[in-house]
């Protein structure tokens, strides 16, 4: 069915060479996807949320036929992966690698028309389609300048425009707002919502929790090649049960973090650097009962506390509760 994606136990392993000095090296097997299974319904915006290195891009590259999976199966728009690859390519619009993937010596219009030809559009259809996209994304002022003269944000916008050239029922967008300033990111998200209202299914990867919360009908939290949780945003938040989140800002050492993690009632903690200070996120069952012991543990480890506050559960807290890490931390795939 158009716009539908079904993934069944998809596995991707790589061999990577580990250098041992000048000449010696040994091969190491990396499991980038460990039997991922999920279904994406036609017409939904489906978020893939996870830190860098979690396996989001590997999954997307498999679904777009760029990578051959090691095992498992997938059906995209009703076509079977590895069997009907050209049909999949024709029916998927894809934005990968941000501003890379454009011809910098061509103009936006020339780029769009060229990529239209790769999707076998007739010359007239290429021109019409390119004009429509340029108008929709307000690229008119720069459409006839070579891409090399564009700002980073303009290149990202053109990369997004390119994903629309084949008018595919399924759009796959890999971190599309990376490097965009806030107004441009907001504008791009609005267009994605419009396209979704027009009936397109969207797969949207991000490591920005707020973006996933506002954009996606359902979200899969992915880490170390595995889907840790899947559901609507309210469902995922509710999955923390009666657990609550306390955030402490200040100067907090790793030792203090460990001490808090050992306190009774604390299920997870995560320490991150935010705007020049550290932030400790504590997921616990009973915030009120925990607070005196929490402060005591912090003081005992010379923590300088600037702010301590109970907070609403976010998708990031769901991630912390399941992994003990924050989305800002890169994942070392094992």
Q: Which residues bind to another protein, rule: CB under 8 A?
A: 2, 14-15, 58, 61, 64-68, 86-87, 89-90, 92, 94, 96-97, 100-106, 110, 113-115, 117-125, 129, 132-133, 136, 146, 162, 164, 166-169, 195, 198-200
Distance between CA atoms of residues 170 and 65, nearest Å: 14
Distance between CA atoms of residues 193 and 198, nearest Å: 9
Nearer to another protein, 165 or 298 (CB): 165
DSSP designation for 331: P
Partners of 123 in the beta sheet? none
Contact 91, 168 (CB under 8 A): yes
Nearer to another protein, 64 or 279 (CB): 64
Nearer to another protein, 166 or 206 (CB): 166
| Nearest distance in Å: CB 259, another protein | 42
| Nearest distance in Å: CB 199, another protein | 6
Nearer to another protein, 81 or 180 (CB): 81
Distance between CA atoms of residues 39 and 9, nearest Å: 11
Distance between CA atoms of residues 109 and 140, nearest Å: 9
Write out the two tokens for 213. Answer: 């919360």
CA geometry: angle at 138 spanning 135 and 142, to 5°?
100
Nearer to another protein, 84 or 329 (CB): 84
| Nearest distance in Å: CB 329, another protein | 23
Q: For tokens 């965009």, what's the residue? A: 180
| Nearest distance in Å: CB 146, another protein | 7
Nearer to another protein, 15 or 141 (CB): 15
| Nearest distance in Å: CB 178, another protein | 14
Contact 189, 197 (CB under 8 A): no
| Nearest distance in Å: CB 237, another protein | 33
Pairing, β 24-40 against β 201-206: unpaired
């Amino acid at each position: 069915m158009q716009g539908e994606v079904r993934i069944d136990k998809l596995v991707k392993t790589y061999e990577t060479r580990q250098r041992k000095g000048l000449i010696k090296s040994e091969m190491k097997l990396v499991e980038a996807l460990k039997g991922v299974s999920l279904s994406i319904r036609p017409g939904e915006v489906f978020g893939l949320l996870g830190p860098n290195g979690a396996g989001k891009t590997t999954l997307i590259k498999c679904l777009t036929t760029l990578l051959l999976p090691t095992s498992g199966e997938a059906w995209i728009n009703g076509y079977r992966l590895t069997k009907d690859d050209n049909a999949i390519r024709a029916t998927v619009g894809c934005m990968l690698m941000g501003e890379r993937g454009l011809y910098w010596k061509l103009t936006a219009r020339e780029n769009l028309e060229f990529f239209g030809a790769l999707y076998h559009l007739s010359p007239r259809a290429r021109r019409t389609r390119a004009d429509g996209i340029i108008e929709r994304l307000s690229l008119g002022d720069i459409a006839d300048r070579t891409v090399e003269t564009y700002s980073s944000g303009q290149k990202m916008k053109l990369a997004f425009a390119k994903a629309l050239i084949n008018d595919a029922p399924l759009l796959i967008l890999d971190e599309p707002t990376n490097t965009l300033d806030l107004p441009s990111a907001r504008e791009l998200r609005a267009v994605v919502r419009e396209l979704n209202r027009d009936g397109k299914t969207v797969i949207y990867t991000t490591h920005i929790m707020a973006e996933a919360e506002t954009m996606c009908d359902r979200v899969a939290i992915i880490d170390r090649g595995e889907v840790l949780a899947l559901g609507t945003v309210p469902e995922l938040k509710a999955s923390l049960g009666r657990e609550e989140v306390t955030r402490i800002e200040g100067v907090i050492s790793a030792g203090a973090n460990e001490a808090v993690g050992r306190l009774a009632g604390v299920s997870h903690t995560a320490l991150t650097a935010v705007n020049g200070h550290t932030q400790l996120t504590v997921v616990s069952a009973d915030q009120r009962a925990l607070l005196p012991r929490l402060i005591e543990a912090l003081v005992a480890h010379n923590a300088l506390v600037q702010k301590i506050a109970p907070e609403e559960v976010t998708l990031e807290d769901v991630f912390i509760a399941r992994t003990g890490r924050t989305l800002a931390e890169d994942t070392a795939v094992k």
